[in-house]
Amino acid sequence: MKLLLIGNGYLGQAVGRVFLEHGWEVVPVSLSGGEGARAADVSDLSSVRGLADASPDFIVHCAASGRGGPEAYQRVYVDGCRNLADAFPGVPLLFTSSSSVYAQTDGSVVTEESPAVPERETGRLLLAAEKVVLEAGGTVARLSGIYGPGRSVILKKFLSGEAVIEEDGRRFLNQIHRDDAARAVFHLASAGEKRGGIFNVSDSTPMAQGECYRRLAEIFGKPLPPSGPRDPDRKRGWTHKKVSAAKLRGTGWQPEFPSFLDAVPSVAATL
């Protein structure tokens, strides 16, 4: 079996490792190439068609937007998914989207059936990319905030003393360890006829921001961060919701790190 892996960054490399561990051949692709990846621009149909010789059995699109805004989202996600679907008709496609498409602010539990009406243009473009994939019979994995070795905004801010508890700290944090996300992608790729549609990929323990920082203060013996106003400039908007991954867990997937706190010691050592 051969995987065409679009995106060879933080998540993509982890996804590639999981597929390799299960005996797949992996063809990683990035915009510039390097690090064993082929170079291709997914926003350019002719460039994508140049990958035809890879003859993949499955395609995963988990390329990053390069911290770009709406134009980058349009090119990488919407155009990229459309070009992959056009260049590889019939080949199953999985797109890693984001739980940021849920804009709920009432603290409610959100499932794949919940309304997804993002306030930001970037969120609306993610939904447009999802629509392309779903219409092609593919799979959408809506990932919560990714953390893992060398990466955790929450933990890094706490340890550096930059953390602020927004307002009363009630906002829920929804996260997924990078390696659990990678295993979820492989799990969905292996699900056969059951893999199509939308799946939330999140750990089992949404945590209120205030509670998270209280637990971190206990673990590290450091003072609780000060309170302050919410950040109005959050790239993905200010939301307050609990992302449920019950549908994915119902297919047999379970996270190795069911709570951010389970991974804190190992992640802290890499920051």
| DSSP per-residue string spanning 232-243 | TT-TT----EEE
**Nearest 5°: phi and psi at 169?**
75, 15
pLDDT of residue 68: 86
AA letter at 7: G
pLDDT of residue 67: 78
Alpha-carbon torsion 245, 250, 256, 258, what sign? positive
Q: What does the block give as tokens for 223? A: 């003072």
Residue 236 has pLDDT above 70, yes or no: no
CATH 3.40.50.720 is held by the domain 2-150+175-206+244-251: yes
Phi-psi domain of 66 (left: phi exceeds 0; alpha: psi -120 through 50; beta: other):
left
Looking at per-residue pLDDT, the higher value among 235 and 164 belongs to 164
Q: What does the alpha-carbon distance between residue 61 and residue 92 come to, in Å, rounded to a whole number?
A: 11
pTM of this structure: 0.96
Q: How confident is the model at residue 232 (pLDDT cuts 50, 70, 90)?
A: low
C-alpha angle 192-59-91 in degrees, rounded to nearest 5 = 65
Residue 195 has pLDDT above 80, yes or no: no
> Which contiguous run of DSSP H or E holds residue 197?
strand 197-201
Domain ranges of the chain: 2-150+175-206+244-251
Stretch 192-200: mean pLDDT, rounded? 85
Beta-carbon count within 10 A of 257 CB? 22
